[in-house]
Structure 1
Amino acid sequence: MPRWIFPLIIVLVLAVILEIYTFQALKTISKSKFLRYGFLLISVAAYVNFLLIMLNYSRSDGQTPKFQMAVGVLLTVLVPKLVILMILFGEDVYRLVLKAIATISNTDTQPLVGRRKFVSQVALGLAAIPFVSFIYGIVQGKYNYKVIKYQLSFKDLPAAFDGYTITQISDIHSGSFTNKKKIQYGVDLINEQKSDLMLFTGDIVNNKADEMDNWIDVFSKLEAKEGKYSILGNHDYGDYMDWEKPEDKIKNFQDVKDIHQKIGFDLLLDEHRYIEKDGQRIALLGVENWGKGFNQAGDLQKASAKIKKEDFKILMSHDPSHWQEKVKNDDFNYHLTLSGHTHGLQVGIEIPGFIKWSPSKYVYKQWAGLYEEFGRFINVNRGFGYHAFPGRVGIWPEITVIELKKG
């Protein structure tokens, strides 16, 4: 039996419960059968589309844009109804409590018809927020590129690098892309930053190297004054799909590594490069993917073997759990680490200076933005592309620009 059958049954049972509550909410506030059954028909269409996609899905295909869109439409239908369920179920519990009290005390309960209508209106109103947000996220939010700038000061930064700028991008996930014009706009926005150095922190594809075939011409136009460097992410190894033969996976992995050269990036595989300026230098290190609990291919000691402890060091490591578990406490002193991976789960709420929240925070201690401990920094880029869910809601695609200052 396919592994997805049991989760699918759970989803279907939940869907039935959600539809019952949503139908009742609509019935309470409106007598229009067209409204009630129209909503139901849209939901059934989303369920049937998702079911058909799953029945024809093969891990050897990877997460295609068609698969991702089916997931996105399903979530757009389900999440608002979860809001309705929580509110109306709470109302049902309240009514049951009142009825139990009345039965025990042998008193009459007051009619709650008017209250039920009001609660249904509130539930539907609140449910409209995620519904509209998810539609926006799928249509436009995933292209709502944001340039986020930081200025970081270090006492031991070589003076020649005072004012040196770095553009970081991460998580391209080219296998998800469908709109070349929008992606070209994002690439142009990266180039507008005119940084000294460009660093890409992994996940250039979802699974297969050929996902990048139609995008080589776009990403090869990325520019930086003094070089472009990159590392691998967890998706670049091809671990998330079934391969007919082991040698197919090996060839795909080599093809993925070759992409970096095709678009002008120097791929660092547990290696370092010295960046020199006016007779001074800083060390740039790049490790293979290292994630807590999975795919710990990265070897920090190997990458650091030929550099000195007193060197100013910038480390590229795709998964921020590497910094949390290994890097930040290492007395070799890695001044600045650049990561990606989390995408901020592509869904959350961010109002600069007031709130930054996403379910991703319950998985990763460092999940989006800049963090500092012991005078050492990590920036977790929210990602340029998108994966699984074909959109972004509140957590927008990011282009990071970091200016180094001697403090």
Structure 2
Amino acid sequence: MRNNILILIVSIGFILFTDTLLFLLLKKYLYKKIRFLIYGLHSLLFLGGVLAYHFFIPTVNGPDFYYWIGLGIGIFFLFYIPKLIFIVLDLFSILLGLIHKKIRLAGQSIAAIIAVSCFILILYSITWGRYNYKTELVSICFPQLPPAFQNFRIVQLSDLHLGSSSTHYKGIPQLVEKVNALRPDVILFTGDMVNNFASEITPWIGILNKMNARYGKFAVTGNHDYGNYTHWESPADKARNYTDFLQHMKAAGFHLLNNAHYPLITGKDTIYIAGVENWGNPPFPRYGKLQKALEGVRDHFTVLMSHDPSHWRAQILDYNIPLTLSGHTHAMQLGIEIGNIKWSPSQYIYPEYDGLYEDNHRYLHVSRGQGYLGFPGRIGLRPAISVIILTNNCNER
């Protein structure tokens, strides 16, 4: 309760401070009616919205919780991030304007252009951008790959967070259509199908069932799939939610590999798909049992699913696992990607946060995912569908 009140006070203070400062910077350029719209009506609407959220959100304890939180965050960011950027840049131009008046005028124009551009970018990211999927092709050579699995196509998906979107969300049907068009040999989902509640899957079971691969669909659980981030009336309710989650995943066509493995056989050749439950650094849970997942696999070529990429350096590299697939990071839903240049604040938390990594001929591929949590969009780094092609023709590389 104290945290909610603190968030309310900080939010109201931020709105009043930002809008007052913006008003003072722009008042001489605006007519009185426009001033009223910017400072009066606009600010009152957001203050009313913050108050409404403060009293409404605690009443939502179910799959809709993250949708409403995300909607509020998206609208707030859409208007107040550009405002904040303009204020900072305009104040900087005022300081430079002490040197020459023309610098002040040019600086204010640049600040306005950047702020408007930021508004357009955020608007794009929370509308079309959140499901403007990028197909990412990754080819990895393993000399030990059995011949029958040459050019084996894995489609990796991760972090759908189904409860973050409404049941009318266009992104999931489009995702299924794009994945099927890729004709994968196997689909591997590396965790966080939901935010907390098994019922988040229910509206999408039929659509997810239409997603097909030659050898099937396999999945592991991520930290959000256990229902750890909400209040339950009893441990039995939480356990029932998890049981329902497992059943819904099965109904959607996924074979869950929680500390288990499964053989894929073609002719005389076999590879294994293995998976562990979530294993992460605190505060994230460590339910994964890697040794159990690999029992009986011996020296067969193995692809391992582990939701959190931290697991790779902490434990997985001690085992003979050629390829590990992870998700979890979302690449923080924010970054820059221009050619070979890529940056995201996620890299300061996770050394392996997005894409392919190698250590002594063992590989980790981290998916930035297709869903979102909190902020309902992706800025700079598009959601990605990863197509991983396994080959043993290393001389061709």
- CA distance in 2: counterparts of 1:12 and 1:366, whole angstroms: 37
Residues 46 and 73 in structure 1, CA contact (< 8 A), matched pair in contact too: no
Partner AA of 1:227 in structure 2: G
After superposition, the CA RMSD in angstroms is 2.0
Q: Hey, what's the Cα distance between the residues in 2 that align with 1:69 and 1:92?
A: 35
Cα deviations by residue, 1:327-348 (Å, 9 ceiling, x for unpaired): 23x1x22111111111111122
Offset from partner CA, 1:256-303 (integer Å, 9 cap, x none) = 111121011110110111111121111211000111112111111111
- The separation in 2 between residues aligned to 1:130 and 1:136, in whole angstroms, is 10
Q: Which residue of 2 aligns with 1:387?
A: 373
Write out aligned runs for 1:82-231 (5 A). Answer: 82-91=84-93, 115-178=103-166, 179-231=168-220
From 332, 335, 341, the equivalent of 2:322 is 335
Structure 1: gaps (5+ residues) = 99-109
* Unaligned 5+ runs, structure 2: none
Pairing 1:18–2:18 present? yes
User: Which residue does the alignment assign to 1:295?
Assistant: 285
Secondary structure of the 1:350 match is strand
Note closer, same or farther for the CA distance 1:51–1:391 as it changes in structure 2 (3 Å cut): farther
What letter matches 2:291 in structure 1?
Answer: Q
Aligned to 1:348: 335
Change (3 A) 1:195 1:216: same
- 1:302/1:229 CA distance change after superposition, 3 Å: same
Following superposition, the deviation at residue 240 of structure 1 comes to: 0.6
> Residues 43 and 161 from structure 1, CA distance in 2 versus in 1: closer, same or farther, beyond 3 angstroms?
farther
Deviations 1:61-85 (A, max 9, x none): 3633222111111111221122123
Task: Name the structure 2 match of 1:104.
Answer: none
Which amino acid in 1 is paired with 2:88? Answer: M
Residue 115 of structure 1, CA deviation: 4.1
- How far residue 94 of structure 1 moved from its aligned partner, in angstroms, is 5.8
Whole-Å separation in 1 of the counterparts to 2:225 and 2:124? 29
Separation in 2 of the partners of 1:333 and 1:42?
59
- Candidates 234, 245, 263, aligned match of 1:245: 234
Larger displacement relative to structure 2 (363-372 or 60-69):
60-69
From the superposition, tell whether residues 47 and 299 of structure 1 become closer, same or farther in structure 2 (CA, over 3 Å): farther
- The answer on whether the counterparts of 2:219 and 2:256 sit within 8 Å (CA) in structure 1 is yes
What's the CA shift for 1:367? 1.2
1:53 equivalenced with 2:50 (yes/no):
no
Indicate conservation of the 8 Å contact 1:148/1:399, yes or no: yes
Name the counterpart of 1:31: 30
Alignment partners' CA distance in 1, 2:170 and 2:135: 19
State the partner residue of 2:269: 280
CA deviation after TM superposition for structure 1 residue 252, in Å: 0.3
Cα drift, residue 113 of structure 1 = 5.5
Pair 350,217 (structure 1): closer, same or farther in 2 beyond 3 Å: same
Aligned to 1:312: 301
> Per the alignment, in what secondary structure is the counterpart of residue 304 of structure 2?
strand
Contact 2:189–2:220 (CA under 8 A) maintained in structure 1: yes
Deviation for aligned residue 1:93: 5.6
Change in 2 beyond 3 A, CA 1:117/1:44 = farther
In 2, Cα distance between the equivalents of 1:322 and 1:145? 27
Change (3 A) 1:35 1:373: farther
1:77 aligns with 2:89: no
Aligned-partner residue type, residue 84 of structure 1: F
Change (3 A) 1:367 1:47: farther
Give the secondary-structure state (helix, strand or coil) at the position aligned to 1:64. helix
Q: Distance in 1 between matches of 2:169 and 2:96?
A: 52
Q: Structure 1 pair 135/155, CA: closer, same or farther in 2 (3 Å)? A: same
Q: Which amino acid aligns with 2:6?
A: F
Deviates more, 1:37-46 or 1:124-133: 37-46
Structure whose CA Rg is larger: 1
Query: Which whole-Å CA distance do the structure 1 matches of 2:386 and 2:368 have between them?
Result: 9
CA distance in 2, matches of 1:238, 1:9: 29
Matches of 1:50 and 1:212, distance apart in 2: 29
CA displacement at 1:165 relative to structure 2: 0.7
Q: Give the TM-score taking structure 2 as reference length.
A: 0.92
Residues 90/282 of structure 1: CA separation in 2 closer, same or farther (3 Å cut): same
Q: What is the CA–CA distance in structure 1 between the aligned matches of 2:62 and 2:350, rounded to whole Å?
A: 29
Q: Which residue of 2 aligns with 1:107?
A: none
Deviation at 1:180, TM superposition (A): 4.3
CA distance in 2, matches of 1:54, 1:325: 40
Preserved contact between residue 21 and residue 84 of structure 1 (Cα < 8 Å): no
Q: Secondary structure at the match of 1:26?
A: helix
Find the aligned partners of 2:315 and 2:22 in 1 and give their Cα distance: 48
CA shift digits 1:173-215 (9 cap, x unpaired): 1112223444212210011110111111111111111111111
Between the two proteins, what is the percent identity of the paired residues?
A: 38
Pairwise CA distance, 1:43: 4.5
1:372 to 358, 362, 366: 358
Call closer, same or farther: CA 1:350–1:9 in 2, change over 3 Å: same
* Pairwise CA distance, 1:250: 0.7
Does the CA contact (< 8 Å) of 2:66 and 2:373 recur in 1? no
